[in-house]
Amino acid sequence: MQISGAQMVIEALKCEGVDTVFGYPGGAIMNVYDEIYKQESFEHILTRHEQAAVHAAEGYAKSSGKVGVAMITSGPGFTNAVTGLADAYMDSIPLVVISGQVPMSLIGTDAFQEIDAVGISRSCTKHNYLVTDAADLPRVLKEAFYIAASGRPGPVHVDIPKDVTAQIEEFDYDIKLELETYKPHVKGNPRQIKKAIEAMAKAKRPLFYLGGGIINANAAYEVRDLVHRTGIPAVETFMARGVLSYDDELLIGMLGMHGSYASNMAMSETDLVIALGARFDDRVTGKLSEFAKNAGVIHVDIDPASISKLVNADYPIVGDVKNVVNEMLNLCDSIKSEKYEAWRENVNNFNELHPLTFHEDSERIKPQWVIKRVGELLGDDANITTDVGQHQMWTGQFYPFTRPRQFTSSGGLGTMGFGFPAAMGVKAASPDKTSINFTGDGSILMNVQELMTAVEKKLPVINIILNNNYLGMVRQWQTLFYDKRHAETDLSVQPDFVKLSEAFGGIGYRVHTKEEFDAALKDAVEKNIVAFIEVIVHRMENVMPMVPAGGSLFNMMLLEKKGSK
């Protein structure tokens, strides 16, 4: 059929089964919005800032496992969205982000709201396109969805000049993609997998190092199977929370800068690291030369460039982690769980020696308590997002995650302001679950305008603001490493968060005691509208334990024993 470029966008989204688009209109994308007005195949959610549209699409993608879609205009619309693109790129989240561009005839003339969008997005997307002919649009959009979701997932940006959205061309989406230069390697090399299994059977102290790639690959339940059948203990990265259930006996905990003592010690003592969909990030490894120093490394990843990038892999396996783990399950009978009895006990002793915990305070609520408490009250019924900072690490440490895709957070880029819009996307994808966003008094203000979106679109996100009147994580570093010079981190001057939420039509609670918190959470869940629950927490609480940046995992700063202050 002969239709306009703008209609092609709508038709392509329909063919891809898109049911939700997050976006913000503007001059260069108006032709497309005119078609959005006329269509009924998807819901458009108008965010109040383009950055939030992309974060919401990320939350949607993470929760649903589908490709998230965001739509924005040229110039400032696009530049506002760049943080979202970069965030999705770092955390391998599949997105298609469509932006308007000035008409072809004006490109390069410094026209109104013109910016070289593909030039900017090149370094923070998996791929991008500037569409110069509407005849290319069906193929480009189809490629965009395919590239975003396949291989190591990531954001794909499609920039469409205004005249191209008006151009009428033939639309046929039933085309076969021929991407001869892009063929993700899905199946792992059988010989390498066999060798890896042999190494696992031979090892005395093997350790699974589980990463977020497992969740992207929908392989969590296969991995659970493999862990249980081999009896090999496991540590999770922050991004992998929920791969194993929190109460799994073989889960030691989260590793890394704010990982548990036991996890980091296990990583330091292991003789074989089995990395599945993890990328040896600096926040995980600490000092590289001391990381798992005496261990061999099996590394399964779909991205060849992630293998031996930072830590040399003795058994590199390029492939989809689900595929590889299934192959491993076929071979793993040679691995005898009893063999690791002593090792498991050893690891449990680490946990008993320095368990992950915190000290209660009689005067003020401790932030960790809040997270644990939400876990007790809502547990599996809640989907969790976070912003970035101390509250984020405490969530990784203390929330009892039970399933993959329960948790969405900005891991790689560390984007403050991510949590609230992402939680809206999560809620749009999973309306049956309560959507909780743990945030701080710093982060929440970075996309606070989304109160309006959430109220309008009835996306009842419960934002739990752990208010310590500080930019807490930076304050913690200043306390520990900058001789307590708290430069520009004191957030004593603050809005009235209760009134702020109410001003947009949400509900607000200010909470000082545990009883008040329980009541507020219960009320917010029942009322089912957008909520701010501001919890006044202990101001100087630090995230512990901690591996100082560049330090070795086995050299942690630990929680001071109670009463030793």
Partner 1 sequence: MSENSERRVVSVIVINEASVLSRITDLFSGRGYNITSLTVAPIPDSKYSRLTIVTSGSIRVIEQITKQLHKLIPVLRVYEHSDIVEKEMALVKFPITENITDINTLCEAYNGKIVNVGDNVIIAMVADEPQRVENFLKAIKRYNPKEIVRSGAVALER
**With contacts defined by CB under 8 A, how many residues of the chain interact with partner 1?**
18
Task: Give the residue with the Cβ less far from partner 1, 182 or 482.
Answer: 182
* C-alpha 68 chain-centroid distance: 13
Given its phi and psi angles, is residue 256 left (phi above 0), alpha (psi -120 to 50 degrees) or beta?
left
Catalytic pick from 11, 16, 35, 50?
Answer: 50
The span of 170-178, 180-188, 243-251, 524-532 binding partner 1 (CB under 8 A) equals 180-188
By the rule CB under 8 A, 126 interacts with partner 1: yes
**413 Cβ contact partners less than 8 Å away, ≥ 6 residues apart:** 83, 86, 87, 89, 90, 91
User: Is there a catalytic annotation at residue 239?
Assistant: no
End-to-end Cα separation, the chain, in angstroms? 75
Q: Which phi and psi (to 5°) does residue 325 adopt?
A: -65, -40
Give the residue from 43, 41, 73 showing the smallest Cα distance to 57: 43
By the rule CB under 8 A, 526 interacts with partner 1: no
In angstroms, the CA 544 to CA 26 distance is 46
**Cβ contact 60:20 at 8 Å:** yes
In angstroms, the CA 2 to CA 169 distance is 5
Give the residue carrying structure tokens 């039933």: 174
- Which position among 108, 119, 355, 495 is part of the footprint of partner 1 (CB under 8 A)? 119
The span of 169-177, 297-305, 440-448, 486-494 binding partner 1 (CB under 8 A) equals 297-305
In angstroms, the CA 150 to CA 142 distance is 12
User: Is there a catalytic annotation at residue 416?
Assistant: no
Give the residue carrying structure tokens 């889960």: 251
Least distance between partner 1 and beta carbon 291 (Å): 15
The span of 194-202, 237-245, 305-313, 341-349 binding partner 1 (CB under 8 A) equals 305-313
User: Is there a catalytic annotation at residue 368?
Assistant: no
Least distance between partner 1 and beta carbon 226 (Å): 27
User: Is there a catalytic annotation at residue 481?
Assistant: no
Q: Which phi and psi (to 5°) does residue 531 adopt?
A: -135, 145
The span of 120-128, 218-226, 475-483, 517-525 binding partner 1 (CB under 8 A) equals 120-128
User: Is there a catalytic annotation at residue 504?
Assistant: no
Secondary element (H or E) of residue 95 = strand 95-101
By the rule CB under 8 A, 112 interacts with partner 1: no
By the rule CB under 8 A, 540 interacts with partner 1: no
Least distance between partner 1 and beta carbon 474 (Å): 26
- Which position among 105, 133, 182, 527 is part of the footprint of partner 1 (CB under 8 A)? 182
Give the residue carrying structure tokens 């704010």: 258
By the rule CB under 8 A, 305 interacts with partner 1: yes
By the rule CB under 8 A, 303 interacts with partner 1: yes
Task: Give the residue with the Cβ less far from partner 1, 17 or 119.
Answer: 119
By the rule CB under 8 A, 144 interacts with partner 1: no
Residues in a beta bridge with 438: 386, 464
Q: Which residues are catalytic?
A: 50, 112-113, 162, 473
Sites of contact with partner 1 (CB under 8 A): 118-119, 122-123, 126-127, 130, 132, 147, 179-182, 303-305, 308-309
